[in-house]
Amino acid sequence: MGVDLAITLGGARLANPIVTASGCFGSGKEMSRFVDLRSLGAVVCKTVTPEPRLGISPPRGAETASGMLNAIGLQNPGVAAFREGDLVWLAERNVPAIASVGGHSVADYVRCIEALRGAAGLVAIELNLSCPNLEDRGFMFALSAERTAEVTAAARAASDVPVFCKLSPDVTDIVAIAEAATGAGADGLSLINTTLGMAIDPLTFRAKLSTGTGGLSGPAIKPIAVRCIWQVHRALPHVPIIGMGGIAGVEDAVEMILAGATAVAVGTANFYDPTATETIARALADFCEAHGIASLDEIRGQVKIEG
């Protein structure tokens, strides 16, 4: 039986649903030693900002039970260098790219998007909304439906490719935030970003990150991610979702598709297994073949809840 893993994501046709999670794969150059990038649906690049950023002082990362904490501070070379370097490199290899953009104001997001207009190989923009909004007392855009809508509307007006909003799970009603994003013009959603966590060394009494708190990722957050995807897909069934958060193997990917994800992004797993993305992409084809699934449309959102 032939298996068709191809998906349509915001208008772009991708060979399969396995993509990389922003911040966990760079832009693919280093990882191309371990993975055939053309075996993936797309590479979601590390977040870029209008100007270069050095990030925060170390320590920036810490292992936790079934996951890791990080606080990088959006270190990046700036959007101009990204377009002239990494995006060109990916386009020359015919690898679909999704650019992640961030900033401290709505204008910052717009500047990034305008700088990326017309870039070869760029199939979508992902808005990293877990950035502090300096125009609103430093609150993250993703924690407010109003601010999410504001930045999304501006981004959608500036972009010549589909716009996906990456949302935080640290809210009381993620469906309300998702509805605000799509109502303002978002073509799709990325669920979920890391959840805020903290770890302390009991011997030194010191926080394990220089910032105290940081983003928790890895298998520990997968049930939260699956829940968020399911809730949003149930409310907005026609909105494409890139699911992420704790994917370590093919069954994790299938779980998110059953919850409603169109595509699945692999993140933390890349740090301990640089072949994880390609391995999962190949395993997904085998899984579908073994279970008589001809297309992922047959199982997307088809979770069974009894009781």
Q: Which residues are catalytic?
A: 131
Cα–Cα distance, 174 to 232 (Å, whole number): 7
Cα–Cα distance, 84 to 120 (Å, whole number): 11
Distance of CA 25 to the CA centre of its chain: 11
